[in-house]
Structure 1
């Protein structure tokens, strides 16, 4: 017995299957995993396209209360997957999330006796062998030394930012961005935004915040990070400053991207934010009371269920055959889909006079009955 706690919450089954990642962090709770599972149901519904091969699944989430840096963490992960093997085999497709990489999940799943962490979806595929080859080929693709699977989500976050800027008539070049978290999602988001001409002025990791008003060298920082997204400070330039961990909140930026832990922005520390947009690359980073206070100050929060949904969607677009194992095809599809989705959400928010999160929830409420009628569900 390890004394560790692990959780699985299945919010909804569609066609008998649910989808949602597995996170590992010290302090992970059942309430947290429940909220994340509900968010996965919404992400799946928001990407429903009756013309696509990919048909959304239900939402689920797994969580383990353990520091991923703990020497015992891998053994805990294997025991968790072994204990939940019947669910992974039939009801729950999962993959990397906070604290875990897909390689680690795959290795632990194999050790736990599983064929794949997404094997529950295999019976829904027209050609399982071809689909599995396509996904494996996609995972083998690298762009600039980073795997396509690690870049897909950040491409979606970046496109969400660019869509918001375009609607507001704000030029990309020189727009300042601060990113909290430099792992898979934060790092990829920073890369795509820098490539679009934005200036990444602050990046926070577990060691603190690194900042430069003229813009950080994102590619150098990406090359200098470890598996947990921590940047080797030896890679910093003379003009790069090392600041406290919470300095990303008050950075002089136009866009703030929390891309690490949940509950990062609360009613107290939101007062430090001066950015015009907060774009939720992480799951549940802004607490509800903080979001209300930000809105009262004219700061728009683009919600996680929209912004970071491309990671999950990319898996299914690839597995079901809407896209192939090609980076440019994947990025083009992600950009089209995310721009259309963000536009829909912001249009609905304008029409209803609500916040983008409420608008996204209303879009979900419109789509879930149609999905249930067409494919059945177990809510």
Structure 2
């Protein structure tokens, strides 16, 4: 652990946290979340996850070379009055850390445009200031970023789409690796915000029947498949489903019903720690793809693995948003949707297929196989400064 910071809001008393888990090339990246009950321990776990998300994307020949992992969190209800003011005070307080080490973006309960607006209003630079020292052409990076974040696809911003596209691609690759046809498969999504909503969209686009979606108010389901696009068009800013948009044969049940729903793929895309040893017995799905951060607790995953349930870990399945930011920034994509979509699909399909293949060959879990890849990549990344120094000395 490189750095732990705890902040207390002088007005409300709310606490905020920044954890820098690792530095690679003097920099770390990870989002900022806000939720009531957020703890330092939670943020530490998320920062460790960001280290893994970064390292798993080391690829020879790409401009993006992974950095370290970090995370921020604020213990406050994002729906309560005064949310933006608390966010502003937090960003002002931790801005020196941002400038030196921490490149951040949105996460659960925080919107990217609010971060950007606050930083611009207070003259605090960019959320990506910490990576500017790594760029050879900052102006070109800014131009690509402007394109990327102004691109709207079928009513949704591109930066909201790439994470769900990655989750859906990972789920489809996992189905195909198991010999399943996505068009003959069904899925249930927990959460209908940016990650859950777009995961549902791209799974449905691939022919997967979305038979259930859980939000804060209940569990909407239909064995024949929900109209995902209609629900996306009418959801609220927090991912709440408009019950007036439901069709006569759609059902509205209890929020907890998602876990035991009859489906092939379960996509937890809301909160951490959602699947526990106590509740995992009710799961009927044979595949869980972690769209949220840390949704399956370790003892639950161990039990699920023994039952033959495959869990694709979060630091693989939901890593596309973070990777895409850096592909845009460093120039692996030009910022357009076509270019971005192509690289997300190519990379997440390849990663998922390789990790599941390694897990099968070695008789280990997908998480263990993915972690082995992360460990090897981190070792290679840590060797790079020594290699660069040696090359300079030779010259």
Q: TM-score range by the shorter chain?
A: over 0.9
Q: Which residue of 2 aligns with 1:18?
A: 28
Q: 1:365, CA displacement in angstroms?
A: 1.0
CA contact (8 A) 1:257 1:281 kept: yes
Q: Which residue of 2 aligns with 1:95?
A: 105
Write the deviation string for residues 347-377 of structure 1: whole angstroms up to 9, x where unpaired: 221222111011111111111111011147x
Counterpart in the other structure of 2:73: 63
Q: Distance in 2 between matches of 1:58 and 1:375?
A: 14
- Pairing 1:75-224 to 2, within 5 Å after superposition: 75-224=85-234
Offset at residue 108 of structure 1 (A): 2.4
| CA distance 1:280–1:240, change in 2 (3 Å) | same
TM-superposed deviation, 1:207: 0.6
SS in structure 1 opposite 2:42?
helix
Whether 2:301 is the aligned partner of 1:291: answer yes
Going from structure 1 to structure 2, the CA distance change for 1:253 and 1:133 (only over 3 Å counts) comes to same
Q: Which runs of 5+ in 1 are unaligned?
A: none
Of 5, 11, 28, the residue aligned with 2:38 is 28
Aligned to 2:391: none
Deviation at 1:180, TM superposition (A): 0.2
Q: CA deviation at 1:129?
A: 1.1
Gaps of 5+ in 2: 1-9, 387-395
Question: Which of 310, 314, 325 pairs up with 1:300?
Answer: 310
Q: Look up the SS of the partner of 1:84 in the other structure.
A: helix
Give the Å deviation of 1:168. Answer: 1.3
TM-superposed CA distance for 1:113, in Å, is: 3.2
Query: Deviating runs (4+, > 2 A) in structure 1?
Result: 108-113
- CA distance in 2 between partners of 1:338 and 1:276 (Å): 20
The equivalences for 1:258-337 within 5 A come to 258-337=268-347
Structure 1 contact 21–61 (Cα < 8 Å) conserved: yes
Contact 2:141–2:331, Cα closer than 8 Å, also in 1: yes
Report how far residue 172 of structure 1 moved. 1.3
| Secondary structure at 2:182 match in 1 | coil
Cα offset for 1:174?
Answer: 3.1
Deviation at 1:194? Answer: 0.3
For residues 12-42 of structure 1, the C-alpha deviation after alignment (integer angstroms, 9 at most, x for no partner) is: 1111110000000000011110011011111
The partner residue of 1:50 within 52, 60, 63 is 60
User: What count of residue pairs does the alignment treat as equivalent?
Assistant: 376
**RMSD of the alignment, in Å?**
1.0
Pairwise CA distance, 1:328 = 1.4
Conserved in 2, the CA contact under 8 Å of 1:208 and 1:245? yes
Question: Structure 2 CA distance, aligned partners of 1:49 and 1:103?
Answer: 30
Is 1:14–1:375's contact at 8 Å kept on the other side of the alignment?
Answer: no
Of 232, 235, 243 in structure 2, the residue corresponding to residue 225 of structure 1 is 235
Q: Distance in 2 between matches of 1:40 and 1:325?
A: 23
Partner of 1:345: 355
1:225, CA displacement in angstroms? 0.7
Q: Using the alignment, how far apart are the partners of 1:204 and 1:99 within structure 2? A: 17
Measure the CA separation in 2 of the matches of 1:198 and 1:309.
21
2:248 aligns with one of 214, 238, 252:
238
Secondary structure of 1:313 counterpart: helix
Give TM-score, length-normalised by structure 2. 0.94
Q: 2:182 & 2:150 partners in 1: Cα distance?
A: 31
Whose RCO is larger (CA < 8 A, sep 6+)? 1
Distance 1:264 1:314, change over 3 A: same
Query: Does the Cα contact within 8 Å between 1:79 and 1:112 map onto a contact in 2?
Result: no
Distance 1:108 1:232 in 2: 30
1:125–1:104 CA distance, 2 compared to 1 (3 A): same
Q: Which TM-score applies when normalising by structure 1? A: 0.98
